[in-house]
């Protein structure tokens, strides 16, 4: 019997489907337990299967440990959130210009104000609001801002019974971002505002 004229097209589709599935699986962190499909004409790994378990569920008890690539992730704790936020803030301070523009000073003050209202841990936000009241944001220069931030972070540390960080070492702990050709630097102004 003559060769099916659709055969080359079917084979191309099959290869495309397999390639797409591999990429989707990698992206979603699923390891495929099935070997890559052969060049037979049946599609072995459908992109979406009705038999697959749901990847995300709204039931909290099922959220304990979801595989994501080789790591396991769980719900974000107050501590995780705190560490990530301090990393963001201290990195911002390390990158802050020596001579910030009027707008940059205004932005930093606003950011602190917004944090004290919107930080996604109610007790932390309220606590930070109180700290800001007695320690208004100081961001006239890179050094002033990073020292001020170190001081307010220490205020939080003390209230939690943690060790106080030596602020003279803040630049050693939170250096500038390593970016080629200073492409991450925030630009300030050479004029005094």
Interface residues with ligand FAD (CB under 6 A) are 78-79, 82-83, 85-86, 90, 115, 119, 123-124, 127-128, 150, 153-154, 156-157, 160, 162, 165, 170, 173
Of 96 and 119, the one with the shorter C-beta distance to ligand FAD is: 119
**Smallest separation, CB 31 to ligand FAD (Å):** 31
**Smallest separation, CB 160 to ligand FAD (Å):** 5
Q: What are phi and psi of 13, to 5 degrees?
A: -60, -40
Whole-angstrom Cα distance, residue 149 to residue 142?
A: 11
Of 33 and 134, the one with the shorter C-beta distance to ligand FAD is: 134
47 Rama sector, left if φ>0, alpha if ψ -120 to 50, beta otherwise = alpha
Using DSSP, state whether 39 is helix, strand or coil. coil
* Closest residue to ligand FAD in the complex (CB): 82
At 93, list the tokens.
């301070």
Query: Scanning the structure block, which residue is given the tokens 């500038």?
Result: 176
**Smallest separation, CB 71 to ligand FAD (Å):** 19
Helix, strand counts (H, E) of the chain: 6, 2
Pseudo-torsion of CA 107, 113, 115, 117, nearest 10°?
-140
Of 18 and 90, the one with the shorter C-beta distance to ligand FAD is: 90
Of 37 and 109, the one with the shorter C-beta distance to ligand FAD is: 109
Going from the C-alpha of 82 to that of each of 79, 115, 158, the distances in angstroms are 5, 12, 15
**Smallest separation, CB 98 to ligand FAD (Å):** 19
**Smallest separation, CB 90 to ligand FAD (Å):** 5
Of 46 and 175, the one with the shorter C-beta distance to ligand FAD is: 175
């Amino acid at each position: 019997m003559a060769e099916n004229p659709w055969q080359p097209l079917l084979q191309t589709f099959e290869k495309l489907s397999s390639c797409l599935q591999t990429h989707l699986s990698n992206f979603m962190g699923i390891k495929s337990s099935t070997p890559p499909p052969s060049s037979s004409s049946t599609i072995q790994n459908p992109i979406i299967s009705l038999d697959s378990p749901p990847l995300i569920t709204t039931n909290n008890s099922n959220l304990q440990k979801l595989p994501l690539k080789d790591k396991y992730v769980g719900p974000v704790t107050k501590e995780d959130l705190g560490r990530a936020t301090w990393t963001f803030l201290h990195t911002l301070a390390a990158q802050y210009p020596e001579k910030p523009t009027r707008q940059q000073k205004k932005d930093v003050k606003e950011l602190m104000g917004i944090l004290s209202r919107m930080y996604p841990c109610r007790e932390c936000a309220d606590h930070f609001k109180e700290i800001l009241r007695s320690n208004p944001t100081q961001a006239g220069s890179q050094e002033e801002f990073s020292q001020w931030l170190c001081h307010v972070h220490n205020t939080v540390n003390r209230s939690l019974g943690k060790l106080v960080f030596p602020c003279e070492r803040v630049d050693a702990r939170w250096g500038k971002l390593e970016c080629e050709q200073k492409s991450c630097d925030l630009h300030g102004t050479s004029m005094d505002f």
